[in-house]
Amino acid sequence: MAKPSVAFVGAGAIGAFFAAHLIDAHSADVTICVRTPFTDLVVESEATNTAFVATGDALVGPPPQRLALRSTPTVLTDPADVRGPVDWVLLATKGPQTEGAAGWLHALVGPATKVVVLQNGIEHEERVRPYVDAAVEIIPAVVYCGAEVVAPGHIVHRTNGFLILPAGPSGDQLVALYADARAGIRLADDFTTASWQKLCGNVVANGITALTERRMEVMRRPAIAAVGRALLTECVAVARAHGAVIEDSYADLVLSGIAQMPAAAGTSMLYDRLAGRPMEQDLLYGAVGRAARRHHIDTPMHDTFAALLAAISEAPEPD
């Protein structure tokens, strides 16, 4: 029986991590679709903790690990080289790059293809639906994986390493594909809560590290942690109005988990700013603000962060 065909669109930190582990599991025929070609895929894991997830024993991270995965995968750089639809597309570009991935989606996605969106935020289907047929299943994923690109096809992995998907038949199928992998797939009956918990965690540190150009050690400063708590308080209020079930103790859990993360760890927005790429302020702070307005909740901290980060991210190129 032929193995399922899986295409990863984007091989940044997240795409490279989950592609490498699926290749290592030998459970699928994997293709990686990128703009910048590479030959060897290398994932060096320095993970010594699993940070935090507050949704029960079924959603904890993998055990601490130190390992290196190396492979020579099939890498494509032009959608014209795609030979037809695949069974699965794991879209691992950054949110602002979704439109740029349209050519890959058109080439890879057929009526039976399942598209899993490995992006930050809570508006996965809204971002991807314009580029695929209305009948195609789009599956949002919550990503817990702290990793950094050091060169094309080469990443360093520091914390966590799993996805959370909505419970259901498609989720069960992806769990089976990753059954022998050291990266994990978890399923959530209450995906709304799982996705908002991740968003709450993201807004605490992403904007702060990007604005300060500091790694996670900056969050150990009491005054900075207080800013993070103010963001978290706003986000939790919006999450609850949106139907997420988040306990009062969650803020302390998030801040404690962040304080315990490796000092050298960063955030996706920090890495984007350091590399001069557009940042994802609209997927995080903008998404909270949009949801807040629907529920008539004021979010001055999120509005401020969205404005400051947009001024940096959308700055014109120097002459």
140 CB burial (10 A radius; 0-12, 13-18, 19+): buried
Structure-token pair, residue 71: 């492979």
Among the options 3, 94, 114, 198, which is catalytic? 198
b/e for 155-170, b at 16 or more Cβ within 10 A? Answer: bbbbbbbbbbbbeeeb
d(CA 100, CA 95): 10
d(CA 184, CA 62): 7
Q: What is the 3-state secondary structure (H, E, C) of the chain?
A: CCCCEEEEECCCHHHHHHHHHHHHHCCCEEEEECCCCCCCEEEEEEEEECCCCCCCHHHCCCCCCCEEEEECCEEECCHHHCCCCCCEEEECCCHHHCHHHHHHHHHHCCCCCEEEECCCCCCHHHHHHHHCCCCCEEEECEEEEEEEEEECCEEEEEEEEEEEEECCHHHHHHHHHCCCCCCEEEEECCHHHHHHHHHHHHHHHHHHHHHHCCCHHHHHCHHHHHHHHHHHHHHHHHHHHCCCCCCCCHHHHHHHHHHCCCCCCCCHHHHHHHCCCCCCHHHHHHHHHHHHHHCCCCCHHHHHHHHHHHHHHCCCCCC
Clarify whether 94 is annotated catalytic. no
Active site residues: 198
